Amino acid sequence: MTNPVLGFFAPWLVYTGILGLHVVLPARSIEGYAIDGRGERLRYRINGLLTFAVSLVIWAIAGYSGVLPWDWLWQHRWWGAAGACVLGVLLSLAAMAWAPSTGRSFVAQYFFGRAENPRLFGGRADAKMVLYLVGAILLELNLLSFVAHHVLAYPGDPSPGVILYAALLTWFVVDYLVFERVHLYTYDLFAERVGFKLIWGCLAWYPWFYCVGLWAVAALPNAGAPAWLLVLASLTFFAGWTLARGANMQKYAFKRDPGRPFLERFPQTSISDGRRRLLCGGFWGVSRHVNYLGEILMATGLALSLGRPSELGPWLYPLYYLLLLVPRERDDDRRCAAKYGELWERYRERVPWRIVPRLY
């Protein structure tokens, strides 16, 4: 029996609960890459993995005790997605009301945001990191609930592809939380403002769209996919993960200490104009955004893992990454060209490929 009102407000309640856990649970204080108004590096309370674990335990207790059917979020998926969309729209308005104008058009300020690094609870929570955290945890809860629906529907013959998909996407979420501090060095954290794009993106899009593969197939029976397809899917996913995680870790290590070998073994090859440095070796010598290629491969591996390559739904996820990351690379390239000038030109000459070596 579905309860539309509860379904609609479920994400509001879940997000409030996760925010509460994040604020009260112990955390490590980590210096980020973004600069505050006084030119000092911002510090962040990082406890994503612990908040994730406690949230999962609460979900499991609710499931075992019978308070919440295991597939409750699946049953209420449309209501939940609608509630999260409305919440995203309203919070984006609130974020706009609380921050001074940037002078751009109303629509641009609403979409891209006004405040750069809003802090909550006297600095105990950073709005951007909270948005990513709550989105990641609700994505995992949706994932578990959607898989539960599949297993409950086909207890005798659940699809190995569905289980593999859940395992790989869980890897993706946990990987983000394990390396949460590395995310402090990514574009959205140090270069973007908090507006509809980030708020709605984290609250509505991330938890519901990223598991789009299961929206499409969780209610279908086992497709009987051959083992080689599942192996191929896993290899594609982990090849992508190696590129994305490797490139991010290499840049993170370089920004913290350019003179130190990566993983204590590989000297960092870089170019310099005497003032600034850019990596041009390792992952950053393969293409200028090989990390984006990694993300696209991971998404492709996920689509394949469901074992229904002719089904359209799972392919929406890699398609979304193409639409997101190709323009994002162009934006970042423009930003870096303006920031580094002639040094960026030299980097472009040394590493001519944008994302895919020898192709693009």
Binding residues (CB under 6 A) for ligand NDP: these are: 186-187, 244, 248, 251, 278-279, 284, 289, 291-292, 295, 328, 332, 335-336, 339, 347
Minimum Å gap between C-beta 50 and ligand NDP is 22
Q: To the nearest whole angstrom, how small is the minimum distance from the Cβ of residue 8 to ligand NDP?
A: 25
CB of 192 to ligand NDP, least distance (A): 9
Residue 100 beta carbon to ligand NDP: minimum distance, rounded to whole angstroms: 24
- C-beta of 298: minimal distance to ligand NDP in Å? 8
- Each as own residue / partner, the long-range contacts of residues 108-115 (CB below 8 Å, 24 or more positions apart, any chain) are 109/195, 110/195, 110/196, 111/195, 111/196, 111/197, 112/192, 112/193, 112/195, 112/196, 112/197, 113/192, 113/193, 113/194, 113/195, 113/196, 113/197, 113/198, 113/199, 114/193, 114/194, 114/195, 115/193, 115/194
The DSSP string of 69-123 is -TTHHHHTHHHHHHHHHHHHHHHHHHHHHHS---SS-HHHHHHH-S-SS-EEGGG
Q: For residues 71 and 126, which CB has a smaller minimum distance to ligand NDP in the complex?
A: 126
| Pairwise CA distance, residues 112 & 286, whole Å | 31
In contact, 234 and 305? CB cutoff 8 Å: yes
Position 43: which residue type?
Answer: R
21 versus 244: smaller Cβ distance to ligand NDP: 244
Please tell me whether residue 337 adopts helix, strand or coil conformation. helix
Q: CA 323, 324, 330, 336: dihedral to nearest 10 degrees? A: -170
The amino acid at residue 220 is: L
Q: How far is the CB of 255 from ligand NDP (least distance, A)?
A: 6
Q: Please say which residue, 23 or 333, places its beta carbon nearer to ligand NDP.
A: 333
Q: What is the spatial distance between Cα 278 and Cα 132, in angstroms, rounded to a whole number?
A: 28
CB of 110 to ligand NDP, least distance (A): 21
- The nearer residue to ligand NDP, 7 or 246, going by C-beta atoms, is 246
> Residue 288: left if φ>0, alpha if ψ -120 to 50, beta else—which one?
alpha
Beta carbon nearer to ligand NDP, 311 or 332? 332
Minimum CB separation from ligand NDP for residue 38, in Å?
Answer: 19
The single-letter code of the amino acid at 37 is G
Which residue's CB is nearer to ligand NDP, number 9 or number 185?
Answer: 185
Query: Of the two residues 37 and 66, which places its CB atom closer to ligand NDP in the complex?
Result: 37
For ligand NDP, give the closer residue by CB, 7 or 213. 213
Measured CA to CA in angstroms, residue 256 lies from 81, 253, 358 at distances of 39, 5, 30
Q: Which is nearer to ligand NDP, 197 or 328 (CB)?
A: 328
* Helix, strand, coil percent values for the chain (each to nearest 5): 65, 5, 25
Q: How far apart are CA 165 and CA 180, in angstroms?
A: 22
Q: How many CB atoms lie within 10 A of CB 98?
A: 11
Question: Shortest gap between Cβ of 19 and ligand NDP (angstroms)?
Answer: 21
Q: What does DSSP say about strands 125-126 and 119-120: parallel, antiparallel, or unpaired?
A: antiparallel
Residue nearest ligand NDP by beta-carbon distance: 187
